[in-house]
């Protein structure tokens, strides 16, 4: 929140799906990587959308 000025929210999914979306656009999905991301990977994806 401090770095990006936004509040993250968590929506319950199904079947172990984990996705990160910014303004409705998916920037990470474990359905393509078959693993959970590191914090740094998420921050890099967020920074890339700016």
pLDDT tens for the chain, residues 1 to 50: 788 888 888 887 788 889 988 888 899 999 999 999 999 999 999 899 87
Instruction: Domain count for the chain, please give it.
Output: 1
Give the DSSP per-residue string, 1-50: -TTTS--------STT--EEEETTEEEEEHHHHSSPPPHHHHHHHHHHT-
Q: Residue 36: its pLDDT value, please?
A: 92
Q: Which domain holds residue 20?
A: 1-50
- Whose tokens are 């172990």? That residue is 16
Judge if pTM exceeds 0.85: no
Q: Residue 37: its pLDDT value, please?
A: 93
Q: Residue 30: its pLDDT value, please?
A: 92
């Amino acid at each position: 929140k401090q770095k990006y000025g936004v509040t993250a929210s968590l929506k319950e999914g199904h079947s172990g799906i984990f996705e990160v979306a910014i303004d409705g656009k998916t920037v990470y999905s474990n359905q393509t990587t078959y693993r959970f991301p590191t914090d740094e990977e998420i921050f890099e994806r967020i920074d890339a959308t700016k």
